[in-house]
Amino acid sequence: MKFSISSVLATATALLSSASVVSAAATSTASASSSSSSSSSSVPEIVIKGNKFFYSNNGTQFFFKGIAYQQELANATSDTTFTDPLADGTACARDLPYLLELKTNVLRVYAVNTSLNHDDCINLFAENGIYIIADLSEPGLSINRDSPSWTIDLYSRYTSVIDQLQGYSNVLGFFAGNEVTNNNTNTDASPFVKAAIRDTKAYIKSQGYRSIPVGYSTNDDADTRGYLADYFNCGSEDEIADFYGINMYEWCGSTVNFETSGYADRTLEFENYTVPVFFSEYGCNVPQPRQFNDIPSLYSTNMTDTWSGGIVYMYFEESNNYGLVSIVNSKVSTLSDFNALSTKINAVSPSASNSASFTPTNTAQRDCPASTLADWKAASDLPPTPNQTVCDCMANSLECVVVDSVDETDYADLFSYVCNQIDCGGITSNGTTGDYGSYSFCSAKEKLSFVLNLYYISQKKSASACDFSAKATTASTQSAGSVCASIVSAAGSSGLNSISVTVTATGSSSGSSATGSSSSSKSGSSSSSSASASATSKSPAPANLPATVNVFGVQTAAALFAAFSIGLALVL
């Protein structure tokens, strides 16, 4: 099965007879508008040409001399799960002299609060030649390597960060993921990250924003690093990473050098890469204190033709002992690592190209690795673009739905039972086979209602088949306009078909037109990678079973619920 939506009406309103349908992207734009800035202080943008970054005003090559700038979660307030380092102007002003002493020109931030204003910090940094590269996720809203998904909630979060930061000209790029695949047991998560890259790049373009690159930050796992580099550089220009960061901790201590540390091997592996590569984190802290003996090599001719510098991990001292400074009662004290970094970074002056005279020779993208390799199980086919209109159309076509008052913690038992009676492939995703249900990006409630409805229909609409101890109820379907009719028809009754929807909007449901086509249905086995649901060899339950059944145990239910829930852990 291959799911592709060529166009779904994201800007139309009043598609449904009962209410307007507004896309998740439009919602995130509105919510961010009150706190975002229209522009930052005048600073030249950083642009990409081939495998290098350049200043847009004079064409000088740009090398990252960056620092990871975010405190750990322990410093968050009771109202948030993280501390936004770009929302405290006083703290940014406090830290600025120390950042400048380290010749900092890039700060990496791992999560921003889109409800806060960032003018003071970002404009202050812009005035001092410091750029921002920001991760799009946050704790609780990220692609979870153990149960990967690309959902409307994630899409809304990622695009809201873009809305919030795009107006600052010193925001040079976004990370769509950080170490999501980190070994050979979770390579199936990478298609979801690549879909996030594709969709955020498309969103930036569709909104008419300036061209801001979107990339990926990977770890340095020996089994998967080569496949990951290939995967995020293969396929359409619309879906490849615009830049590629590696969290690099190979050079440890004073007894290694460029050749023996692994840096020479990594440089050889990326010498023909078509997009910029850099260290998105670096600075091994064994032994301590760090001496940063890799910096002279990183900014030497051994590496500068391939690498664009790096980002030292990290500014704030935490329990992991990677800090450059300690802050107590808002007072900054520099640590040994700070002094060593200052000495090394102030001594380098990388030889730079100029964009006017630079002609990229690395033009051949990588081939996608096969998904059948021992250490690589990621499909080239990507999940569909999340679209709330599709979910709304589906939800309004249902005759049996979950009761509103049912807590999401109770969904697991319902999923567990129903998905062992019918094929739940329409709501699940498999990053190894490349099978993605038509409604796999919808909310847990919408997906549960969809499969409850399938079960209800399979039981010939018996009243007891839409009860589940009063957790489900029958509903009246809402009149569907032509757009919704085409979407639901194309998806197929089980949500297993390919969808191709073309929509022409005039701003009202009466003026909308759509054509839909559905491919032949996928075979009956479930496409889920984490729920072993299948319609084959299953006998329908007795008609009175759903109202009284004590469904499967906690472990089974929890495993299934995880397959339908949004990832809850920020991968750092």
Q: What ranges do the domains of the chain cover?
A: 61-345, 388-564
388-564: CATH class: mainly alpha
The CA distance from 440 to 427, in Å, is 4
Which CATH superfamily, name and number, covers 61-345?
Glycosidases (3.20.20.80)
**Average pLDDT of the chain to the nearest whole number:** 84
Specify the pLDDT at position 32: 41
DSSP codes joined into one string, 305-344: TTEEEEEES-SB--TTS--SEEEETTEEEE-HHHHHHHHH
Q: Which residue has the higher pLDDT, 476 or 62?
A: 62
Alpha carbon of 198 to those of 92, 140, 185, 363, 386: distances in Å? 33, 21, 24, 20, 12
> What H or E segment, with its residue span, contains residue 516?
strand 513-518
Is-catalytic flag, 281? yes
- 223-236 burial, b for 16+ CB within 10 Å, e for fewer? ebeebbbbbbbbbe
The CA distance from 566 to 468, in Å, is 24
The stretch 287-313 carries a mean pLDDT of 98
Active-site residue identified among 45, 101, 138, 179: 179
Say which DSSP state 294 is in.
Answer: T
Specify the pLDDT at position 104: 99
Active-site residue identified among 138, 239, 281, 446: 281
CA-closest candidate to residue 452, choices 386, 392, 388, 403: 403
Specify the pLDDT at position 79: 60
- Which are the contacts of 185, defined by CB distance < 8 A and separation ≥ 6? none
The CA distance from 244 to 197, in Å, is 12
Is-catalytic flag, 399? no
The CA distance from 353 to 216, in Å, is 24
The CA distance from 441 to 447, in Å, is 9
Specify the pLDDT at position 39: 52
Count other C-beta atoms under 10 Å from residue 7's C-beta. 13
Specify the pLDDT at position 80: 64
* Residue 163, both tokens: 């809305």
Helix (H, G, I), strand (E, B) or coil at 517: strand
Q: At residue 202, does pLDDT exceed 80?
A: yes
pLDDT band at residue 549, thresholds of 50, 70 and 90? very low
Cα 372 to the chain's mean position, in Å?
Answer: 24
Q: Which residue has the higher pLDDT, 555 or 133?
A: 133
Q: At residue 571, does pLDDT exceed 50?
A: no
pLDDT band at residue 433, thresholds of 50, 70 and 90? very high
The pLDDT tens digits of the residues spanning 236-273 come to 999 999 999 999 999 999 999 999 999 999 999 999 99
DSSP codes joined into one string, 57-108: TT-BB--EEEEE----GGGS-TT-SS--TTS-HHHHHHHHHHHHHTT--EEE
Q: At residue 466, does pLDDT exceed 90?
A: yes
Q: At residue 24, does pLDDT exceed 80?
A: no
